[in-house]
């Protein structure tokens, strides 16, 4: 019950911490992004050819 009484103070403290971290990280410069284009390759595909099990074969398993 004590936490319910102090919910406003907890909320304000959370906002202050979030604001301080956003200002602190805004001052740090981000590293340059290096993008490399991949060569166009064909996607490997798998074809499964098998017969389906019959009801008797399924029951035997």
Kindly report, residue by residue over 15-41, the tens digit of the pLDDT: 999 998 888 777 667 777 788 877 877
Task: Write the secondary structure of 13-52 as one string of H (helix), E (strand) and C (coil).
Answer: HHHHHHHHHHHHHHCCCCCCCCCCCCCCCCCCCCCCCCCC
Q: Would the pTM of this model clear 0.75, i.e. be above it?
A: no
Tell me the pLDDT band of 1, cut-offs 50, 70 and 90: low
Segment 40-44 mean pLDDT: 80
pLDDT over threshold 90, residue 14? yes
């Amino acid at each position: 019950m004590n936490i319910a009484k102090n919910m406003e103070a907890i909320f304000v403290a959370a906002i202050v911490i979030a604001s301080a971290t956003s200002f602190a990280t805004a001052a740090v410069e981000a590293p340059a992004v290096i993008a490399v284009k991949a060569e166009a390759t064909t996607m490997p595909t798998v074809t499964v050819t098998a017969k389906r099990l019959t009801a008797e074969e399924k029951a035997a398993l």
